[in-house]
Amino acid sequence: MNEAEQINSGISSLSKTQLEALNQWLVRYTANDAPTLQIENSEVKQVAKQGVKTRILGEFSGWTGKTIFVLENGQTWQQRRRGRWKTSLVNPEVILSQNFTGAYELSVVGGKTTGVKRISR
């Protein structure tokens, strides 16, 4: 969750104990129920097709073949395809999505797309 989502959902006002309980529930949910929803729930399928919008943190100069992308949502991804692209942007908006083979791609809004793999969180 980004900061605005935390504020809008009220999660930012939870106590440490409440937040720990929620985190434990999310882990169980992710392990047990989420995979089934991804297969069976049409609304979840639609959201997955649209991808996740976030931002690359800080100055971004493009990619060089094994570039690591640190994102605003806390995730870290690494370029999995060869290729280079030069640009000069600050905190650019990106969309992470799965292609038809199930592999992930990172698209810089208004720019280019490259294949990526998730390396943390």
CA–CA distance, 29 with 38 (Å, rounded to integer): 12
Ordered by start, the domain boundaries in the chain are 3-48, 52-120
Sign of CA dihedral 95, 20, 28, 41: negative
pLDDT tens-place values along the chain, 121 residues long: 788 888 899 998 999 999 999 989 888 887 777 667 666 777 766 666 678 899 999 999 999 999 999 999 999 999 998 999 999 999 999 999 988 888 899 999 888 999 999 998 6
What pTM did the predictor assign? Answer: 0.63
Distances (CA, A) of 80 to 14, 25, 50, 93, 106: 38, 32, 21, 20, 10
Which strand (E) or helix (H) includes residue 96?
A: strand 93-98
